[in-house]
């Protein structure tokens, strides 16, 4: 049996790769084989369709949720939960509103697998269902969804005594609720989809931790069972908005971030810019170092922004002498320009030197700026200020050269009028 399953798992990856390259006919062939008389074969095909996550599989999988075979019903619901697209969630929600208790219960469990935050309120509402098995399914689902906000609701069942199993003489809802809370507390609080995670990150001004994974992949499972369950990692993850992305189900997202290997973890800034990346299986220590580095980089960036805002405030109040050391500090602490402020800081510092008649320093900063940032958006202003600094320091020809360069390189700039006016005066 293990050998057969191994063959099927290899088939999973082959089919996923085929789907990723656009060989759509394979999905149609699999759907046709759902009519196979062998139950095991049908079950494995359902699993494959869940892994491939082609939209065409949703309709046949939805129909299978009403199959007379109980195994097929559960397998189909699980596959829809793994697919987890908007359409799959919509179909699961329809079944979760069914008057058939079993249909409702398997759909509720599958909704927890999708990872979609938006299912939370609906799931919580089912904790009051009259059917104990529906309440039990809901507790399971909330545990899989993994949202910490579910903990107060789940704790209400810690002493639940509404149903006692006559077979085991135990209270299944009570025990499942305790296990769910334990799982949530020892797990990262994942969000889905990525678009929602990006919005939360912008609002909360927090970085994103995006985990790209594949179901039933040995290394992804190791990451999830060990590295991502470690107390240190779970604690560090609270500083991030964490999002899980199925690397194959969401090929457009994988391609956008150039993800070619799963598992992979990418840390993005609140604006969506990449800060760090870890591809393949990552140990606890390695991921801990990676996350700490990312937080340090963001903290440094925030500090640089704070300095930049202070320098601008001082400039607005004409406190140039106080602004200069702050601008120097920004430049000294961000030589790699990770903040994106370096060019503006250099421009402002050079301007300040000019205002304080430190023309040699002003010329040096403007010249370096023009050389290092040839496409700088304020290039015309850089040349104009450089020209003025040359003229005021008595280097007239260099000043003229700088002003003439404005005419050549920025003929449509508003600054060119000022440059032409100065050139006319100099040529009289």
DSSP run (H or E) holding 274: strand 274-279
pLDDT at 34: 87
CATH T-level topology, domain 297-427: 1.25.40
Calpha distance 291→270 (Å, rounded): 15
Structure tokens at 78: 């699980």
Cα–Cα dist 86/83, whole Å: 9
Q: Give the CA count within 13 Å in the CB-facing half-sphere of 219.
A: 13
Buried b or exposed e, range 133-148, using 16+ CB within 10 angstroms: bbbbbbbbbbbbbbbe
Residue 235, Cβ density class (10 Å: 0-12 exposed, 13-18 middle, ≥19 buried): exposed
User: Whose structure tokens read 């799963």?
Assistant: 262
Intra-chain end-to-end CA distance of the chain, in Å: 96
What pLDDT does 25 receive?
A: 53
Per-residue model confidence (pLDDT) at position 21: 41
Pick the CATH number of 2-185 from 1.25.10.10, 3.60.40.10, 1.20.1300.10, 1.10.760.10: 1.25.10.10
CA distance 186 to 172: 21
Contact 221, 229 (CB under 8 A): no
Q: Please, what sign has the CA dihedral across residues 328, 329, 332, 338?
A: negative
**Helix, strand, coil: what percent of the chain each, to 5?**
70, 5, 25
- Amino acid 39: pLDDT: 83
**CA Rg value for the chain:** 30
Q: For residue 254, give Cα distances in angstroms to 81, 184, 221, 235.
A: 20, 27, 19, 26
- Identify the H or E element spanning 313: helix 284-316
Identify whether the C-beta of residue 155 lies closer than 8 Å to the C-beta of residue 164.
Answer: no
Dig out the tokens for 88 from the structure: 């799959």
One fold for both 2-185 and 297-427?
no
Measuring CA to CA, which residue among 231, 186, 335, 208 is closest to residue 277? 208
pLDDT at 282: 94
Note the CATH architecture for domain 190-282.
3-Layer(aba) Sandwich (3.40)
Asked if residue 406 lies in contact with residue 419, where contact means CB atoms within 8 angstroms, the answer is: yes
Q: Which two tokens mark 101?
A: 């208790």
67, 73 Cβ separation under 8 angstroms: yes
Paired tokens of 107: 């759909």
Q: What is the greatest pairwise CA distance in the chain?
A: 107
What are the domain boundaries of the chain?
Answer: 2-185, 190-282, 297-427
Walk along the chain (428 residues) and give the pLDDT tens digit of each residue.
444 443 443 344 444 444 444 434 578 888 888 888 888 888 889 988 887 778 899 999 999 999 988 999 999 999 999 888 889 999 999 999 999 999 999 999 999 999 888 899 999 999 999 999 999 999 999 999 999 999 999 999 998 777 777 777 788 899 999 999 999 998 999 988 888 899 999 999 899 999 999 877 889 999 999 999 999 999 999 999 999 998 876 778 888 999 988 899 999 988 888 999 999 999 999 999 999 999 998 888 889 999 999 999 999 999 999 999 999 999 999 888 888 899 999 999 999 999 999 999 999 999 999 899 989 999 999 999 999 999 999 999 999 999 999 999 999 898 989 988 888 888 76
Task: Give the pLDDT score at 343.
Answer: 93
Cβ-based burial of 124 (10 A; exposed 0-12, middle 13-18, buried ≥19):
middle
Q: What is the pLDDT, as a whole number, of residue 192?
A: 81
CB atoms closer than 10 angstroms to residue 180: 26
């Amino acid at each position: 049996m293990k050998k057969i399953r191994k063959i099927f798992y290899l088939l999973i990856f082959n089919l996923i790769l085929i789907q990723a390259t656009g060989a759509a006919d394979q999905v149609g062939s699999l759907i046709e084989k759902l009519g196979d008389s062998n139950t095991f074969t049908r079950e494995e095909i359902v699993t494959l369709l869940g892994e491939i996550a082609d939209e065409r599989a949703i309709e046949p999988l939805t129909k299978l949720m009403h199959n007379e075979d109980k195994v097929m019903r559960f397998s189909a619901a699980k596959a829809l939960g793994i697919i987890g697209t908007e359409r799959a969630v919509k179909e699961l929600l329809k079944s979760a509103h069914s008057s058939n208790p079993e249909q409702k219960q398997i759909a509720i469990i599958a909704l927890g697998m999708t990872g979609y935050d938006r299912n939370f309120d609906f799931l919580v509402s089912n904790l009051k269902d009259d059917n104990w098995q529906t309440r039990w399914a809901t507790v399971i689902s909330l545990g899989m969804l993994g949202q910490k906000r579910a903990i107060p609701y789940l704790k209400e069942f810690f002493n639940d005594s509404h149903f006692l199993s006559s077979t085991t003489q135990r209270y299944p809802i009570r025990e499942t609720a305790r296990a769910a809370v334990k799982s949530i507390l020892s797990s990262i609080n994942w969000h889905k989809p990525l678009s929602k995670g990006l919005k939360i990150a912008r609002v909360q001004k927090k970085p994103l931790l995006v985990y790209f994974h594949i179901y039933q992949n040995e290394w992804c499972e190791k990451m999830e069972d060990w590295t991502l369950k470690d107390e240190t990692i779970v604690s560090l993850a609270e500083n991030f908005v964490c999002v899980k992305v199925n690397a194959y189900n969401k090929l457009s997202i994988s391609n956008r971030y150039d993800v070619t290997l799963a598992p992979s973890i990418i840390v993005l800034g609140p604006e969506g810019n990449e800060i760090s990346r870890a591809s393949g299986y990552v140990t606890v220590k390695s991921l801990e170092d990676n996350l700490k580095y990312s937080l340090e980089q963001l903290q440094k960036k925030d500090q640089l922004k704070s300095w930049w805002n202070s320098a601008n405030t001082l400039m607005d109040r004409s406190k140039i002498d106080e602004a200069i050391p702050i601008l120097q500090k920004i430049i000294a602490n961000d030589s790699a320009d990770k903040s994106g402020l370096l060019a503006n800081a250099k421009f402002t510092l050079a301007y300040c030197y000019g205002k304080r008649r430190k023309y040699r320093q002003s010329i040096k900063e403007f010249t370096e700026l023009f050389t290092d940032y040839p496409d700088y958006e304020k290039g015309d202003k850089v040349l104009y200020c450089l020209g003025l600094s040359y003229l005021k320091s008595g280097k007239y020809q260099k000043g003229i050269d700088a002003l003439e360069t404005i005419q050549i390189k920025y003929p449509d700039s508003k600054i060119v009028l000022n440059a032409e006016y100065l050139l006319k005066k100099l040529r009289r």
